[in-house]
Structure 1
């Protein structure tokens, strides 16, 4: 990968993508979007069983690099930017057949905050914060923000975050259910490794199907969801990991899942 704004690693079933523009709080440029898309292509083609996404430096991601907008001549088509970059990014993360663990190491603002919320398990340093500053620019929360915020924290809190643009600390974000866990700063790196290693040894297909079912439940009736559970469980019942899980349970030993 020639663009160093994204760093990609793959080892022992763990794929790691690190946003790497620390001097700009990892804010997005078009070339950075391209590098991230390339990294996700590598994840999709690999034998990874978990993706860990985090940022380098004191911020996770400050959203769009607005200096790139200033350099553009004439009016900017923000809808085109969503269509080409942010929407495909969210869709790919939600569709990955593995858990996506997001480690919010610092401020997550704008599209950066909503990128974090596209993950499946989101943890944040105690010193981190989440900000929806779109209202200060005459915009609305993109990158899935208007979708996930009311579903995670309810309509009233989502409206407050979106219309006021106030900073939300990681501890309160966890209390509100916006993220999974707020972690002490000095324990953050170890917790991220712990989660990555846990999922790398887990029954990946079952987790992928759980992710799919949870995501699709938001638009399903109960009957539709019950039918989906039936169909997915039927397929999972034929997997090697299910057979191994049952065998390990009966033998009172730790299972050795292969992700198949």
Structure 2
């Protein structure tokens, strides 16, 4: 069963990529990431000027598929591969000449948060919220979380990573993550309006603006992403990751050790 749908309008040169696994909260798992990566690459090969990243259902994404992680023969190897593939998607979105627009409704949790933030323009319905939550299950962040420092600042990002706080749509707007907050019922039409504005603009100027601004923020994001992958892989191979994931699935409080 496909977890992604994608369409392309060659006249407008607009690609629309939708996370389409609402029964699982658009959880991020290897098959979804593979489909997402192929959709992004296909859009780039087609010469898309705008890529829209959206979702179906109540949530943008609940984050990583913890059941799939727990069922893996080697959770560390599973997460290493998954993080590398997801980070390639994040890098492709950020390196693309296309302007990437994310339309977020409901929660963007775990890796769903930095995936939405990989867009150049983030639009949010009033129901949207953003949270990390990795440390609650004994894992360290991935998906491009470290790149949030450039948008949210050091200590706000640390607060989100360490305390598991949640940003609602208005807080995300005030923090600079979200470009516009609209009623949920208007999210699709407002996204279409932003896409039309971009599609009517100067493509080379937009692509150059995206590149120079992103390079100023982080000229080598892939190095940061690889460091994140190493971190979550190490956690997944240790006792905290095993306990945190098991506790979450058992719906009990985790019991962590004293650390090093």
Please classify the TM superposition score into its range, dividing by the shorter chain length. Answer: 0.7 to 0.9
Query: Quick check: 1:7–1:17 contact (8 Å CA) kept in 2?
Result: yes
With over 3 angstroms needed to count, the CA separation of the structure-2 counterparts of 1:219 and 1:114, relative to structure 1, is closer
Cα displacement string for residues 130-149 of structure 1 (whole angstroms, at most 9, x for unaligned residues)? 0111110122221110122x
Segments of 4+ moved more than 2 angstroms: 74-81
Partner residue in 1 for 2:52: 52
* Aligned-partner Cα distance in 2 for 1:191–1:99: 16
Alpha-carbon RMSD across the aligned residues, in angstroms, is 1.4
Aligned positions of 1:146-161 closer than 5 A: 146-148=146-148, 150-161=149-160
Structure 1, gaps ≥5 residues long? 221-260
Partner residue in 2 for 1:87: 87
* Aligned-partner Cα distance in 1 for 2:217–2:40: 25
Which structure has the greater CA radius of gyration? 1
| TM-score normalised by length of structure 2 | 0.79
| TM-score normalised by length of structure 1 | 0.79
**175-184 vs 130-139, which deviates more?**
175-184
Count of residues paired in the alignment: 216
CA apart distance, 1:32: 1.1
With over 3 angstroms needed to count, the CA separation of the structure-2 counterparts of 1:93 and 1:152, relative to structure 1, is same
From 1, 4, 22, the counterpart of 2:2: 4
* Aligned-partner Cα distance in 2 for 1:47–1:157: 36
Structure 2, gaps ≥5 residues long? 220-260
Partner residue in 2 for 1:113: 113
Query: Quick check: 2:131–2:165 contact (8 Å CA) kept in 1?
Result: yes
Aligned positions of 1:241-260 closer than 5 A: none
Give the structure, 1 or 2, with the largest relative contact order (CA under 8 Å, sep 6 or more). Answer: 2
Query: Quick check: 1:54–1:103 contact (8 Å CA) kept in 2?
Result: yes
